[in-house]
């Protein structure tokens, strides 16, 4: 009975944690990393570039072992991909799916922060013959995650293009292509059952260039529209300030047409090419710079589209590097934000994509990079022992538990203590292992509270902060309060039931 109680409450608490993962406060902008590049940097060099630009979320189109290894101990959230070639085999064999999870996910967790699996890329439109096995593949992969107790950390979904919605405007009347009704219904049912999200590839570039002048280019580039060019849904009277928002809303309405709700949308691809051929006049540096900078500002305002204003639109830009080996028109080779030496194709504020923002009036207290592990552990233990400090976020399953390192956990505990105690004399020192910063160390659903800096004297805080972990000492005692609280709750309920 005791074991059953533990398991029951593990499931209940984990379910609440799981649900919270997709209703987090604050949106993020991630980056797709394509590999059709003739001079692709090494995995370690790519990760160094990601760190330099403070990119906190990446999507890989496969499960490259070198990249997954290089991303370990970085705290960067990783979406891995099942290639279209692999979908058929996985969709026909649960054992193949289990082997894929063991090799490409379980082998790297928890040091590599894998949080999602994209099963294929635009399968319905690119390899429609694989449609019958797409949902079975998703199910088999999810069941393999369940068997490994990883399903609460790693979500399974599949990306779809806007092509599966034949008439996306007006959004309120949009529906999926009836050809795919059965498959899409199964996909939505799977996403609902597993608390996952719909992956959407939304490209206003194509919406505009294939639109025969129906919409102005300002609408595609997030530029303000004049009063006589306002885009309004005649049925809802919602105003759409960008084609991007209209595409996302068209997808929400299409999902609702199947009587599904509360399935959030994550835009897994969007962007704008910066160079094209003679017949691609809109693929310019100016337009690409405008689109992506406006996109970042749009996403980080934490609002959703008109029909779902309270659901932020987490988004991945396509893409990190120019894939010069891709076939097709010249524009296909020039979606990259960076050249392979790490320099920018055009001016872009990538440092804000992971919600790592600088505000000179707001101060945080964090662990110093490279601080002695034993001192960090001591400081962490002391901070968590103070009655005013709440360390629940760095417990197992907490929003700030991963990455599971002294530096990460100490930063959260130090900051929580400092924000609550600095007004009455509390300092950010912790035996020399802490420092103040104006760069927000929040990431994903892990939110650090800041405080207004009332003084401007003294040593200025560091100008940048790389939120990277360090390895705990070999054989050392783990940081404090690593108690599984769900088991405590289960025990208390059990005792209440069985004791007189």
pLDDT tens digits along 401-456: 888 889 889 999 999 999 888 878 888 999 999 988 877 777 656 788 876 554 33
Q: What is the dihedral of CA 186, 189, 191, 197, to 10 degrees?
A: 90
What would the mean pLDDT of 299-323 be, rounded to a whole number?
95
How does the average pLDDT of the chain come out, rounded? 84
Active site residues: 122, 269
Task: Establish how many alpha carbons lie within 13 A of residue 338's alpha carbon, considering only the half-sphere containing its beta carbon.
Answer: 21
| Residue 367 and residue 400 in contact, taking contact as beta carbons nearer than 8 Å | no
Q: How far apart are the first and last CA of the chain?
A: 16
Per-residue pLDDT band at 315 (split at 50, 70, 90): very high
Distance CA 190, CA 148 (A): 19
Map tokens 């593949």 to a residue.
137
Residue 473 above 80 pLDDT?
no
Per-residue pLDDT band at 23 (split at 50, 70, 90): very low
- The DSSP 8-state label assigned to residue 194 in this structure reads T
Q: What 3-state DSSP class applies to 66?
A: helix
| Residue 283 and residue 217 in contact, taking contact as beta carbons nearer than 8 Å | no
Bridge partners, residue 364, by sequence: 437
Sheet holding 451-452, edge to edge: 434-437, 362-367, 451-452
Distance CA 286, CA 218 (A): 13
pTM value is 0.69
- Among positive and negative, which fits the CA dihedral 167, 200, 287, 332? negative
What would the mean pLDDT of 84-106 be, rounded to a whole number?
97
Q: What pLDDT does residue 358 have?
A: 37
Where helices occur in 148-283 by DSSP H, the ranges are: 181-193, 204-209, 217-220, 243-256
Map tokens 């988004």 to a residue.
315
- Both structure tokens of 335: 């979606």
Q: What pLDDT does residue 403 have?
A: 80
Q: What pLDDT does residue 5 have?
A: 35
Q: What pLDDT does residue 405 have?
A: 86
């Amino acid at each position: 009975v005791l074991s059953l109680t533990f398991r029951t409450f593990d499931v209940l608490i984990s379910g609440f944690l799981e649900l919270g993962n997709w209703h987090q406060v604050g949106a993020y902008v991630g980056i797709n990393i394509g590999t059709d590049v003739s001079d692709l940097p090494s995995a370690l060099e790519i990760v160094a570039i990601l760190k330099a630009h403070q990119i906190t979320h990446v999507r890989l189109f496969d499960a490259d072992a070198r990249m997954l290894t290089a991303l370990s101990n970085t705290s960067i959230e990783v979406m891995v991909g099942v290639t279209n070639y692999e979908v058929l085999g996985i969709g026909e064999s649960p054992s193949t799916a289990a082997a894929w999870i063991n090799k490409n996910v379980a082998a790297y967790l928890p040091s590599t922060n894998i949080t999602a699996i994209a099963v294929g890329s635009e399968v319905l439109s690119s390899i429609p013959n694989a449609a019958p096995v797409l949902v079975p593949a998703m199910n088999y992969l999810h069941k393999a995650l369940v068997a490994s107790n990883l399903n609460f950390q790693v979500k399974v979904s599949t990306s779809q293009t806007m092509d599966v919605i034949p008439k996306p405007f007006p959004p309120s009347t949009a529906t999926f292509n009836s050809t795919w009704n059965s498959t899409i219904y199964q996909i939505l049912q799977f996403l609902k059952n597993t608390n996952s999200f719909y992956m959407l590839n939304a490209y206003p570039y194509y919406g505009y260039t294939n639109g025969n002048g129906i919409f102005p280019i300002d609408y595609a580039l997030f530029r303000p529209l004049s009063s006589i060019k306002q885009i309004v849904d005649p049925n809802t009277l919602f105003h759409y300030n960008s084609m991007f928002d209209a595409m996302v809303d068209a997808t929400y309405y299409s999902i609702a047409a199947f009587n599904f709700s509360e399935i959030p949308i994550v835009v897994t691809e969007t962007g704008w090419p910066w160079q094209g051929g003679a017949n691609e006049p809109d693929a310019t540096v100016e337009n690409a710079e405008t689109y992506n900078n406006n996109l970042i500002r749009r996403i980080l305002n934490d609002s959703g589209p008109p029909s779902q204003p309270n659901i932020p639109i987490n988004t991945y830009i396509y893409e990190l590097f120019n894939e010069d080996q891709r076939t097709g028109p010249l524009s296909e080779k020039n979606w990259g934000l960076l050249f392979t030496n790490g320099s920018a194709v055009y001016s872009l504020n990538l440092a804000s994509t992971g919600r790592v923002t600088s505000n000179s009036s707001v101060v945080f207290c964090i662990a110093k990079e490279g601080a002695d592990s034993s001192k960090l552990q001591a400081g962490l233990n002391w901070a968590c022992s103070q009655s005013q400090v709440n360390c629940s976020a760095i417990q197992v399953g907490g929003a700030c538990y991963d990455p599971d390192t002294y530096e990460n956990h100490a930063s959260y505990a130090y900051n929580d203590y400092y924000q609550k105690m600095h007004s009455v004399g509390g300092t950010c020192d912790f035996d020399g292992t802490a420092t103040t910063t104006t760069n927000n160390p929040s990431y994903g659903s892990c939110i650090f509270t800041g405080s207004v800096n009332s003084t401007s004297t003294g040593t200025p805080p560091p100008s940048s902060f790389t939120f990277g972990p360090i390895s705990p000492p070999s054989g050392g005692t783990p940081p404090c309060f690593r108690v599984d609280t769900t088991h405590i709750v289960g025990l208390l309920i059990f005792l209440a039931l069985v004791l007189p």
